[in-house]
Amino acid sequence: MERGEDSADSYFNILADWKATMSRKSRNPNFDQTLEILRAHSFDVRPLAGVAGAVLVGKHGAGAVLVPVPGSDAAGVPAAFAERPGALFGGEVSRLLDRGYQKFIKTSQFELPASASQLQAIHLFSEELKQLIGAISLYNEGLGTTSDVYEYDRLQGREAEEPAPAVPWEPAGGH
């Protein structure tokens, strides 16, 4: 019985003597430091004309437009997406369009079917970029490439508002 008490006493002594070490201060880089981190990881970073403070970030044939987040010290994320990741065509970030049976890459000038290698490049770029800028990576995005727009051919024309169905328990007009 003494042995059980000794082990219990030593257990509580360990807990009483235990001191939590201080956690290290997390380093939250600002927008310019984030761009330097991206350059160090072989991302192509260049300013984008037309949007104040925006930069075009590219790698693997994919790209995205980043802008600084105002008050990012409190949020911890220094950059936000002005344009989500997509394939790069002539310095323009394309949008990924899902039509149900196939994904398409759409730019301001044309729309092309997306190849598997393009989708893999967009997915790899997106995951790597989110990890480096400290953005949230969602589970469904980690499984594969997600589209910006979903347009299914069977759903075209259903957007029109239909009148609410009549409710039989409410009196209609003259009662």
Domain ranges of the chain: 27-153
| Nearest residue to 122 (alpha-carbon basis) of 100, 99, 148, 101 | 148
Q: What percent of the chain has pLDDT over 90?
A: 18
What mean pLDDT is predicted for residues 84-100? 87
- Residue 112 makes CB contacts below 8 A (sequence gap 6+) with 104, 105
Q: Burial level of 173, CB count in 10 A (0-12/13-18/19+)?
A: exposed
100: CB partners within 8 A, 6+ apart: 150, 151, 152, 153, 154
pLDDT of the residue at 46:
92
| Residue 43 · residue 59 · CB < 8 Å | yes
**In the structure, what pLDDT confidence band is assigned to residue 136 with cuts at 50, 70 and 90?**
confident
What is this structure's pTM?
0.65
Q: What is the mean pLDDT of residues 144-160?
A: 63
Look at residue 141 and tell me whether its pLDDT is greater than 90: no
Residue 173: phi, psi to the nearest 5? 60, -90
Is the model more confident about 25 or about 117?
117
SS3 state of residue 95: strand
